[in-house]
Structure 1
C-alpha cells in the first residue's frame, strides 16, 4: 500500500464532478486499505497530534462563503484507537513527540477527498496534524517513521497542495502560470533524482519558492508522504492539473 500525496484544492471538490474528482473515485476503487492515516494541512499543532477515537467523526466545515449544499455534506467515517496507537508508537520509537486528540472531527483537507475515494465511509480513518514550522527534513522523518504502515495494508495520505498562494489565483484563467509549473517541475525533477538534500532546501533552491509557498502548511504533507515511501522507488505522478492559473493539483504516489 504505497503512500499518496493528494491535492485537496477547493472545498467545492466535495460536490463537484470533474476530471480530478473522477480520478479520486477511480483511485479509491482500486485500493482496499484496512485503515487510512491522513496528514491534513488544515490541522496545525506544535506536536504531532493523532486523532484517537473509535466512534464517528464530526464533519468540520472549516471554510466560509460557499454554497449551502457544501454545508450539508457529511462524511461519517469512524476512527480507530488501535491504528492511532500504532502511529503513535512508530513515531515515539523514532524520538518524535506525539499527542492524542479524542474529540476533533475531520476537516476539509480530509473529507472532501475521502468522500470521492471511499464513499461508503466504511474504512477507519486516523487524522494527523502538521507543524509547518518544522524544517522539511523533519517532515520527511515523520513519514520515514511510518514507512511500515504500507506493509500492514494501511494507506498513508498527505493532503495538501504544492503551489498554494491564494493571493495569486486568477479566477478566470484557464492556463497555468509559468512560475507555478516551474516550481512543480523542480520538485518532480529532484524527487526523480532522489535528491532529498535539495528538496530539504526547496525554499532557497526551487524557482519561485516564495511565490508558490508563502506558508509551508500545504507543502508539509508532501514531505511526509515522500518519507513514507520506498526511497529506492521513483515517485509516480498520478494526476496533474492547475486551477485558476496557480492552484496546483499535482498528486503523487510513492
Structure 2
C-alpha cells in the first residue's frame, strides 16, 4: 500500500539546491516504489479537471523565469499512462465529476521538481492532473475521494503545492520561521488528524492567519485533494516540515 501524500514543492530551485526539503524528498522517495504516480499540480489550472494522457515521454516545461541556466537544462523524461488516465476519468465519472484529457502538455515544475528529487530515474509512469482553485473545499476533497483505493494498488497520489504561499511575506534574511505561518500549519495538521472536515472546509474563516497564508488558493487545494484520496481509517502523518524565508512552508503530509 502506498499512502497518498501532499508535498510542499517550493521554488524551481528545489531541483538543484541542497535544503531540508530536498533531502527529505530524496530519502522519502527511496522508501517507495509505486507502480504509477498521479500528481495534482498547483501550476496547471483548468475549470474542468484535466487528465494528462501522454502516451510517450513528457516534455519538461520551464514555467518560470529569471533562474540559473542549469534549471533550463534539466530534463525529466517520465512516460505517461493513457490506460491509467482512462481509469482515473472513469472513477471521477462514477462520482459525477466531469473531466477531460490532454495528450500534449508536458510536466510543469510543480510536478517534475519534486518528482526529480523523489524518483530521479524517471522510470515510473506519471499521470498529471490539473486543479480548479475556485471550487469549494468540499469539491476539492470529493475529487480526491473519487480516487480512493488506488493506494492499495501501489499507485501514489501526490498533491503538489504549499500550505503557506505568499510571496509578499517572504524575508530572505529570516533565520527562523514566522510564528504566524507555523500557527496556520499547526491548525491544519491538528484538524486533519482529528478529521474535522467542517473546520477544514471553513478554513478561510476559522484558521489563524488563513488569508495571509493563502492569498490565492491554487497551491493550497492539492492538499484537500490528496487528503480526500486517503483512507479515512488511516492516520494523518506529518512527514516533513521546514520553512524558508520565514514563511514559505514545506509542510508535507501522508494520508
**TM-score range for the pair, normalised by the shorter chain length:** over 0.9
> How far, CA to CA, are the matches of 1:237 and 1:16 in structure 2?
23
> How far, CA to CA, are the matches of 1:226 and 1:18 in structure 2?
26
Deviations 1:60-108 (A, max 9, x none): 0000010111111110001000010111110011000001000000000
> What number of residue pairs does the alignment pair up?
254
Equivalent position of 2:28 in the other structure: 27
What TM-score does the superposition give when structure 2 sets the normalisation length? Answer: 0.98
> How far, CA to CA, are the matches of 1:89 and 1:13 in structure 2?
34
Equivalent position of 1:99 in the other structure: 100
Deviations 1:33-68 (A, max 9, x none): 110000000000000000002100000000001011
| 1:1-254 equivalence runs, <5 A | 1-254=2-255
> How far, CA to CA, are the matches of 2:182 and 2:154 in structure 1?
33
Specify the SS of the correspondent of 2:7. Answer: strand
Deviation at 1:149, TM superposition (A): 1.1
RMSD (CA atoms): 0.7
Deviations 1:203-226 (A, max 9, x none): 010011110000010010000000
> How far, CA to CA, are the matches of 2:53 and 2:145 in structure 1?
21
Tell me, yes or no, if the aligned pair for 1:56 and 1:77 is still in contact at 8 Å. Answer: yes
> How far, CA to CA, are the matches of 1:138 and 1:77 in structure 2?
29
Deviation at 1:17, TM superposition (A): 2.2
- After the TM superposition, which of the residue ranges 167-176 and 105-114 deviates more from structure 2? 167-176
Structure 1 runs of 4+ aligned residues shifted over 4 Å read none
What TM-score does the superposition give when structure 1 sets the normalisation length? Answer: 0.99
> How far, CA to CA, are the matches of 1:81 and 1:17 in structure 2?
34
Deviation at 1:249, TM superposition (A): 0.4
Tell me, yes or no, if the aligned pair for 2:37 and 2:157 is still in contact at 8 Å. Answer: yes
Unaligned runs of 5+ in 1: none
Tell me, yes or no, if the aligned pair for 2:20 and 2:242 is still in contact at 8 Å. Answer: no
> How far, CA to CA, are the matches of 1:146 and 1:174 in structure 2?
40
Deviations 1:161-218 (A, max 9, x none): 0000011111111211111011101101111111011000000100111100000100
